[in-house]
Amino acid sequence: MDTELLSEAKRIRENRNIITDIDYDLSFEDFILKIYINCDSSKYGESFQSYIRKNLYPKIRGLSKCFERGDLHVNYKKYFEVKISYLNKNGKYSVTHIRNWEKFDYFILCFVDKNFNSSIYCIPKNVISENEKLNSMNGSKYINIENTFVAKRLSLKVNYVNSVLNKKSVLKGTSYNDLQNFISSI
């Protein structure tokens, strides 16, 4: 076994998925770079959600998974599911673990392009959950025919995001400030 590769692998494992309290004080732009560098996809989604919760507290708060109402809420009146996706090499964004059975109002979606510029959308749940391009996360349509609770995924091309989601978003723009302003207005 190559000792240099082994050392590098151990170094990465020791530092993987570590986000500190100081990281949550970074600007939004720097934070999305930090989580991309430090985290795998399951952790950067969770970290992005925590960034919103910590930086918009007390207006928006976290929610236990047992409620099945999404990730965040404002006064138990508006509920949000939070997702982040970095553009893949095929030029698509992936929105994963879509749980149609959960009762929430909006998806907060952050898409990060190849230059690490972000665009944020706040989309009514039905725009995503009723999309004809939804696929099961695991197994085929046939395998899941009797399953009531099947997590779904959606692959979106950049032009779809720019045209369709931009029109459906309830935000005035696509910046983190636009999200902050919307949450403050609720």
pTM for the model stands at 0.92
Could you tell me the pLDDT band of residue 20, with boundaries at 50, 70 and 90?
A: very high
3-185 adopts what CATH topology? Answer: PvuII Endonuclease; Chain A (3.40.210)
Structural domain spans, the chain: 3-185
Instruction: Give 68-106 pLDDT, tens digit per residue.
Output: 999 999 999 999 999 999 999 999 999 999 999 999 999
Instruction: Give 134-159 pLDDT, tens digit per residue.
Output: 888 777 766 677 777 888 899 999 99
Sign (positive or negative) of CA dihedral 177, 178, 181, 186? negative
**Average pLDDT of the segment spanning 24-39:** 96
**Average pLDDT of the segment spanning 7-11:** 87
**CA–CA distance, 183 with 35 (Å, rounded to integer):** 23
Number of residues that make up the chain: 186
Instruction: Give 36-63 pLDDT, tens digit per residue.
Output: 999 998 899 999 999 999 999 999 999 9
Q: Residue 74: its pLDDT value, please?
A: 97
Crossing angle, helix 28-38 and helix 41-55, to 10 degrees? 150
CB-based contact 185:171 (threshold 8 Å): no
